[in-house]
Amino acid sequence: TWGEIREQLEKRLGKHNYTTWIEPLKLSVLKNGVAHFEVPTTFFGDWVSRNYGEHIRNHLNAAGAEISRVEFAVGAGAVAAKPMRTAAKPAPRASEKTAARSRLRDDDLPGAPLDARFTFDSFVVGKPNELAHAAARRVAEGGPVTFNPLFLYGGVGLGKTHLMHAIAHELQQRKPDLRVLYLSAEQFMYRFVQSLRDRSVMDFKEMFRSVDVLMVDDVQFIAGKDSTQEEFFHTFNALVDQNKQIVISADRAPGEIKDLEERIKSRLQCGLVVDLHPTDYELRLGILQQKAEFYRDQYKGLVIAPGVLEFLAHRISTNVRVLEGALTRLFAFASLVGREITLDLTQDCLADILRASDRKVTIEEIQRKVAEHYNIRLSDMIGPKRLRNIARPRQVAMYLAKQLTPRSLPEIGRRFGGRDHTTIMHGVRKIEELMATDSQLADDLQLLRRLLQG
């Protein structure tokens, strides 16, 4: 059935692509080897056909449907592209996700659908993301442009897309007349290539130059795509010249995106560059508490034992998407079997996720990598030297040990040559403090984390 195929597609394409592009599809009929689907807009149909048509056909055939073609047409019941106000308190229930999805403004702006759940309200702020959050808030005020572009970067699942959608939602509410355009770099390329094919490049240029706020997500995608880069560069400059706000995200800092033209890199660095750090324990716990709050309303009467959220915050990786997935499954499972969410139940239900994020980073490994990185001896890590060029790397290692392992401060102290837990605490604080202002240090940490966590 289509329901089963949808599940397979979700596994195959990932949750995000699935909710954005597959969930809204309605299978209307299978006839003469053609599968007809209803889609909300022509653009949507084009996109799905181009990117997922083949997948859909293959899955249908694998289920024995004997389909030679898949067609998409705008459905009679579809509300073409009327902008929809986003609900004030969006519920995270799967069935409502599609309904709550709104399109950005008018149909002449080819923006990507916004996820109604990604608001500032639902964004939990902690140390690792407070700068990014503050900058996003500033842009969302819609006041005079103070930095351009805002460049947000960070690893997968740390909230870049969430923040960009939140900006769009907020601007829609505060300044309904602003033309806000949010799309992924991939979509930017797709639109551009399409305009080349349709000989409508001028329309394309005009459209992109007429927006008040342009947000391009995952810009690393256009690296190595020469003509798209070129066009992006011109669009970018034209908007900056008109003093229009631009917001860009990427998975790494501008200077580190390979195969991106130098002039674009330097342009991207002109504004405010902020990174989303990997989540720390407190932030993870905050996010879990917020989500658990939602679920408690949804699954009335479900009890969650003390310590469960803390356990998850300790044990599950820094990627918030993984964290959310774990909690969703846990609540669904507990409500199914009608049991209290205990630590035991959690360990049973999430065994695979826990195992996967169990790729244990050891304190020894951290000390070794940090010593290598700063070119000091491993023995100096645990030795007594207080020289700064040794003490600082040692503090970096302490900080990483606290962040990446579940070890307590006294335990960490023991592995650092029997230091006192207050010394470790001091080292961790010192690094946290420096990180905010010392971008070299922040980069070092990011690199080391990547090395250690694979």
Q: Which segments are annotated as binding site? A: 157, 159-161
Q: Pattern of binders to ligand ADP over 320-359, x per CB under 6 A?
A: xx--x-----------------------------------
**Listed ranges 103-111, 237-245, 319-327, 370-378: which one lies at the site for ligand ADP (CB under 6 A):** 319-327
Give yes or no for a contact between 347 and 307, defined as CB atoms under 8 angstroms apart. Answer: no
Which range in 31-39, 154-162, 180-188, 351-359 contacts Mg ion by CB under 5 A?
154-162
| Residues listed for the chain | 454
3-class secondary-structure state, position 107:
coil
Q: Report the residue from 158, 239, 330, 400 that binds ligand ADP according to the rule CB under 6 A.
A: 158
* Phi then psi dihedrals of residue 424, to 5 deg: -65, -45
Binder among 161, 220, 318, 405 for Mg ion (CB under 5 A): 161
Give the whole-angstrom CA distance, residue 388 versus residue 385. Answer: 9
Complex with ligand ADP: residue 45 or 157, whichever CB lies closer: 157
Q: Select 279 or 395, whichever has its Cβ closest to ligand ADP.
A: 279
Question: Which among ligand ADP, Mg ion, none contacts residue 129 (Cβ within 5 to 8 A by kind)?
Answer: ligand ADP
Asked if 159 touches ligand ADP (CB under 6 A), the answer is yes
Q: What CA–CA distance (Å, rounded) separates 285 from 262? A: 40
Q: Residue 158 Cβ, how far from Mg ion at the closest point, in Å?
A: 9
Q: Helix, strand or coil for residue 235?
A: helix
375-382, long-range: CB < 8 A, 24+ apart: 381/416, 382/415, 382/416, 382/417
Q: Is residue 19 within the footprint of Mg ion (CB under 5 A)? A: no
Work out how close the CB of 97 gets to Mg ion at its nearest, in angstroms, rounded to a whole number. 17
CB of residue 435 to ligand ADP, shortest distance in Å: 18
Structure tokens at 38: 């209803």
Applying the rule CB under 6 A, the residues between 23 and 62 that interact with ligand ADP are none
Would you list the DSSP string of 30-48?
EETTEEEEEESSHHHHHHH
What angle separates helix 363-374 from helix 388-404, to the nearest 10 degrees? 140
CA distance 452 to 356: 15
Min dist CB 287 to ligand ADP, Å, is 5
Specify the residue, 142 or 159, whose C-beta has the smaller distance to ligand ADP: 159
Radius of gyration, alpha carbons of the chain: 24
157 binds ligand ADP (CB under 6 A): yes
Residue 98 touches which of Mg ion, ligand ADP, none (Cβ within 5-8 Å per kind) = none
Question: Residue 454 corresponds to which tokens in the numbers above?
Answer: 């694979």
Mention every residue, 6+ apart, whose C-beta is less than 8 A from residue 342.
305, 308
- Pick from ligand ADP, Mg ion, none: which does 158 bind, CB < 5 to 8 A by kind? ligand ADP
39 binds, among Mg ion, ligand ADP, none (CB under 5 to 8 A by kind): none
Q: Report the binding-site residues for ATP.
A: 157, 159-161
Q: Are 36 and 90 in contact (CB under 8 A)?
A: no
Contact between residue 334 and residue 341 where contact means Cβ atoms under 8 Å apart: yes
Member of 161, 195, 318, 446 binding ligand ADP (CB under 6 A): 161
Q: Is 309 among the residues that bind ligand ADP (CB under 6 A)?
A: no
Pairing of β 34-39 and β 26-31: antiparallel
Residue selected from 160, 244, 284, 369 as contacting ligand ADP according to rule CB under 6 A? 160
For residue 376, the one-letter residue type is I
d(CA 228, CA 22) in angstroms, rounded, equals 27
How do 272-276 and 180-184 pair as beta strands? unpaired
Task: Please tell me whether residue 220 binds Mg ion under the rule CB under 5 A.
Answer: no
To ligand ADP, the closest distance from the beta carbon of 179 in angstroms equals 23
Question: Within 10 Å of residue 137's Cβ, how many Cβ atoms?
Answer: 16
Check binding of 419 to ligand ADP (CB under 6 A).
no
Residue number, 37 or 151, with CB nearest to ligand ADP: 151
Of 24 and 90, the one with the shorter C-beta distance to ligand ADP is 90
Q: Which residues ranging from 262 to 291 are in contact with ligand ADP (CB under 6 A)?
A: 287
Q: Which is nearer to ligand ADP, 22 or 381 (CB)?
A: 22
Q: Which residue is nearest to ligand ADP (CB)?
A: 159
Q: Rounded to whole angstroms, what are the CA distances from 259 to 25, 226, 256, 447?
A: 36, 9, 9, 19
Q: Is 369 in the site for ligand ADP (CB under 6 A)?
A: no
Q: In the range 111-130, which residues lie near ligand ADP by CB under 6 A?
A: 118, 122-124, 129
Size of the site for ligand ADP (CB under 6 A): 17
DSSP state of 83: -
Q: Among residues 241, 228, 136, which one has the least CA distance to residue 182?
A: 136
- Contact residues toward Mg ion (CB under 5 A) are 160-161
- Contact residues toward ligand ADP (CB under 6 A) are 118, 122-124, 129, 154, 156-162, 287, 320-321, 324
